[in-house]
Structure 1
Amino acid sequence: MGVELEDCRQRCYADCSCLAYAAADIRGGGDGTGCVIWKDVILDLRFVARGQNLYLRLSKSEFDDQKRFPTVPVLAPVASAVTILLVVFLIWRRRNRRIIGVIPQNPAMAVPSVSLAIIKGVTKNFSESNMIGQGGFSVVYKGQLPEGRTIAVKRLKQSALTTKGKKDFAREVEVMAGLRHSSLVRLLAYCNEGKERILIYEYMKNTSLNVHIFGNANLRASLNWRRRLALIHGIAHGVAYLHGGSGDNVIHRDLKPGNILLDDDWRPKIADFGTAKLFAVDQPGPEQTIVVSPGYAAPEYVRQGRMTLKCDVHSFGVILLETLSGQRNGDTQSLISHAWGLWEQNMIVELLNTAMVPLPESEPELLSELKRCIQIGLLCVQETPCDRPAMSAVVAMLASPTLQIDPPRTAAVIDSEGAVPSNSSHGLETNLLRATTTDLT
């Protein structure tokens, strides 16, 4: 905050990855003091009513003999500023693209297309030795770019190239083109050539959250309690971004540990947007295929196909409880049922014993934070969607240990067919008497 604007300019000049800079303290409008620098991608811009100068670093040839940065005032209307930034960013991407042969198929798309020949080259013609995983619809290969960067190449199986499969592929490219967040996996490029449908993502060294919370003892031990809490915070921020922080309302529809990837620094990245939907809040969406991952889908979605942002909140709550307990929820919703029973008996800390990580009894503050986190998870899996907090509220609760939160109402416990198990001990009337009426959202 103590850096003057000229010093900020020099710091940006000295850093090859610097894309833009601006004053941090803008109370006076225009060029104040302090320094904000953007690297790699230009994220987290906001509208300033009185105007603010943003200095963008472009190729010198764009401005003939001018050596100084062009000044782009960010003023109303917002659309004009966004258009300027988009054009500038696309120019920068085109001049600095690293994958040889990548050409934007659509000038308006922020994600470029790449030729099949290039992809075959970096994956050794889809060699089995480069295969790092596969599912029912795709195979993932590790690729090595000439510059040394490692990428993940997701190739759809030919059996998946149905009409729906092609629509899912197009949807993932469309949705990911407009999303940029540190907790979302980044789509670098795609290929739509002949019968091939391929997505190129940044490579995640530590694979998925699913592997580490349900794996062997060594894999589970790699996630200590503080790391697990950090993962939960990161996932919450990513989902909150989807639910409005991106400017659109995006519902993922298939949040689960297998779709949470971990990078080299154990930061979570939400992946697999083939089922994601853009929609207007409180407005019914178009006819859709129901996407149900047993154990993670919200009850109203399983029963009536009702899709809202609160469906993702429920899925996040299940992920949170699984991450802290090391137990799967599964078709029978056994984890939610177990967690709710422990909550009613005031024994919720027992849920942590199954994670195969020693309880932090010597750190009472950490133990208290873990118990609070479980309570937040139960709030997210409540039966009624309107009782579940919005993801923005979840982020606030996780970030503020002193923020008072309500006890959860009845947790949503349903089987794979959308029915309440006959052995369920959940009593709605009893829990309504125990709940407070404060609305977190």
Structure 2
Amino acid sequence: MSSDPWGRVDETGTVYVRTADGEQVVGSWQAGSPEEALTYFERKYEGLVVEIGLLEKRVQTTDLSAKDAQTAIGHLREQVEAHHAVGDLEALRARLDKLVATVEARREERKAQRAKQSDDARRSKEDLVTEAEQLAQSDQWRAAGERLRALVDIWKGLPRLDRKSDDELWHRFSHARSAFSKRRKAHFAQLDAQREEARKAKEQLVAEAEALSGSTDWGPTAARYRELMSEWKAAGRAQREHEDDLWNRFRGAQDVFFAARSSVFAERDAEQTENLKLKEELAEEAEKLLPITDLKTARAAFRSINERWEAIGHVPRDARPRVEGRMHTVERALQEAEEAEWRRTNPEARARAEGLTGQLQAAVDKLRGQIEQARTQGNASRAEKLERELEGRQALLDQALKGLQEFGG
């Protein structure tokens, strides 16, 4: 008979294991000594210890499912309960019980984690739906379209919810995308129609611009080109494939006209600059006639200068008032000299001037005599009144005498 702390072998070769409930038969051993029997069943115990240890490690460090873990625990528990090993079977049962609790805790933990992931996924999808519904009303077609495509990719990366919730949210999400696509399609259809109208309008503007390009009616044509440019801007943009070609034709027609006008204007400006130089020389020649001492000679000279002046063409507009003003100054001096000559040689005017002077002189002489008489009589107030009247008549007489001098008298 042989034994150790956890088992023994009796004389018949029966092997027992000691448990809390008493000895349990492990098996019968007839192949060798009792020590070999205990060693054999102790190794079987050690094998169970290794298997339980490996399962504990798998449960702690891998994603072994609760179902598979429970199956493995049940299999090991059956082996422990079969009492086919010699060792501390109670310790193995305790370890298996603890492992059951661990697996259950892990299952609850994973269940809570899946619930949290599901809640997070629901909130994420609800946020995606809300953003998609807002984007469905946007007029930022490119940016909103790109964002909606990005939202689809985000949606695909999220876990599925329960079928009913997932389908409802997807329906709203899909409806928002469809609404945006419908609005965008309608917008671009309208834009295409507007661009087609713009193309037709600009075709007409180009045709008129090209027809005007050879015009030499510079002022009205330039004004019409400005109007055409305003109409061009108001017409809006045509399709991209037509816009650049139409613009190049439109601008090209204007360039032809304005290049021709610039060439003509450059020649005209050069001619007018030369004309200004000639007229300034004539104005200087006319100014040498001042002051006028010989009216007849000055008049003939100015007539010659003026004839040459009229034969010269236009001068630059900004210089015209200055150069013409110089000629007008000489012309006014001639007119004033002619008026003075006329007054001096006009017999009727001279007679009227002499008659008026004589009348005023007689009145002045009479007043002086009356003043002398009043003083002699001692009438000072009358003398003073007559003196004031004399002052007025004397002033008129002085003015008349001055006018008479112009007639050489």
TM bucket, shorter chain: under 0.3
Larger % of helix: which? 2
Q: TM-score, normalization: structure 2?
A: 0.15
Structure whose CA Rg is larger: 2
